[in-house]
């Protein structure tokens, strides 16, 4: 079973008035649509932060008032069962927004834990609220973000909770490959928590996939995917 994630208070590097103009995910971000003048005031309220692997950005039930955007790296959203078991319910990639529930004053519904060194932008809900009153475009963006999260949740449910384990694993890899055919290969424990299998079984699958050429290691924690084979497996083929 997964441990309670590191509770060491994450001590990220913070920057201020961060260089949003140069941000790689700026266009795709929450505020990509705002006109420059509106943006200026807001950007001074954006804090930039770097988190290391294992850092906990926030945890379930915490009541803070920040919304986040991921600039680089990977983050997992965890949810706990009454018995302490935990399941990864979503995997965040750059340009994803998370912690939206803070906008309604709710406490966070997940724990957000860093899987791969992450650069994150933090905006206080107060800053957004001010803008929200008279910016319909921002409203639309917020709704869209929510809808994307919901899409993801549903896709996660259908693709990663249906079918046999190797099929699910293939689908996960297909979701993660970048343009170069590379995908992150997470710890067996995390893979287990995503696919609803034990770490041992996750390990066996990784070995199998390597053996039949579906994946090839290129560096620790990163592999090249043979999309042809993976697609066949994902579709239920042998």
Partner DNA sequence: CGCGTAGTTGACCATCATCAACATACGTGG
Partner DNA sequence: CCACGTATGTTGATGATGGTCAACTACGCG
Minimum Å distance from CB 94 to a second copy?
21
Give residues 208-227 in contact with DNA (rule: CB under 7 A). Answer: 220
* 99, 60 Cβ separation under 8 angstroms: no
- Count CA atoms closer than 13 A to 136's CA, side-chain side: 0
Q: What DSSP assignment string belongs to 31-70? A: TTTS-HHHHHHHHTTEEEEEE-TT-EEE-TT----EEEEE
Pick from 166, 171, 215, 233: which binds DNA (CB under 7 A)?
166
Distance of closest approach, residue 89 Cβ to DNA, in angstroms: 17
Separation CA 136–CA 128 (nearest Å): 12
- Cβ atoms of 77 and 69 within 8 Å: the answer is no
Q: Which residues contribute to the site for a second copy (CB under 8 A)?
A: 79-83, 85, 87, 89, 100-101, 103-104, 106, 109-110, 132-133, 136, 139-140, 142-144, 146-147, 149-151, 153-154, 156-159, 161-163, 196, 235-236
187 binds DNA (CB under 7 A): yes
Minimum distance from residue 188 beta carbon to a second copy (Å): 17
Within 10 angstroms of residue 59's Cβ, the number of other Cβ atoms is 17
Query: Which is nearest to 46 in space by CA: 127, 100, 106?
Result: 127
Binding segment for DNA among 35-43, 61-69, 72-80, 199-207 (CB under 7 A)? Answer: 199-207
For residues 60 and 80, the answer to whether their CB atoms sit within 8 Å is: yes
At residue 106, what are phi and psi to the nearest 5 degrees? -75, 160
Q: Which does 165 bind (CB under 5 to 8 A by kind): a second copy, DNA, none?
A: DNA
CA atoms within 13 A on the CB side of 89: 18
List the one residue out of 134, 88, 82, 133 whose CA is nearest residue 111. Answer: 88
Decide if 118 contacts 73 (C-beta within 8 A). Answer: yes
From DNA, a second copy, none, interface partner of 151 (C-beta below 5 to 8 A by class): a second copy
**Residue 232 touches which of DNA, a second copy, none (Cβ within 5-8 Å per kind):** none
What is the C-alpha separation between 94 and 119, in angstroms, rounded? 9
Nearest approach in angstroms of CB 233 to a second copy is: 12
As measured in angstroms, the least distance from the Cβ of 22 to a second copy is 29
CB of 15 to a second copy, least distance (A): 29
Part of the chain binding DNA (CB under 7 A), chosen from 12-20, 37-45, 80-88, 195-203: 195-203
- Residues near DNA (CB under 7 A) are 164-166, 187-189, 196-201, 203-204, 206-207, 220
């Amino acid at each position: 079973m997964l441990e309670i994630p590191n509770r060491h208070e994450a001590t990220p590097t913070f920057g201020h008035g961060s260089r949003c103009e140069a941000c790689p995910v700026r266009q795709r971000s929450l505020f990509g649509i705002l006109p420059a003048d509106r943006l200026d005031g807001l950007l001074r309220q954006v804090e930039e932060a770097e988190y290391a692997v294992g850092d906990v950005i926030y945890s379930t039930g915490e009541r803070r008032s920040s919304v986040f955007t991921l600039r680089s790296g990977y983050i997992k959203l965890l949810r706990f069962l009454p018995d302490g078991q935990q399941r990864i319910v979503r995997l965040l990639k750059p340009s994803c927004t998370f912690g939206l529930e803070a906008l309604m004053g709710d406490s966070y519904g997940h724990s957000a834990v860093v899987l791969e060194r992450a650069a994150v932008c933090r905006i206080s809900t107060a800053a957004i609220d001010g803008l929200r009153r008279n910016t319909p475009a921002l409203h639309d963006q917020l709704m869209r973000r929510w809808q994307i999260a919901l899409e993801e949740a549903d896709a996660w449910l259908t693709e990663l909770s249906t079918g046999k384990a190797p099929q699910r694993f293939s689908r996960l890899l297909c979701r993660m490959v970048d343009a170069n055919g590379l995908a992150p290969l997470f710890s067996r424990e995390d893979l287990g928590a995503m696919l609803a299998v034990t770490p041992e079984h996750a390990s066996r699958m990784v070995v199998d996939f390597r053996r039949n050429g579906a994946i090839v290691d290129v560096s620790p924690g990163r592999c090249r995917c043979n999309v042809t084979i993976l697609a066949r497996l994902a579709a239920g083929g042998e």
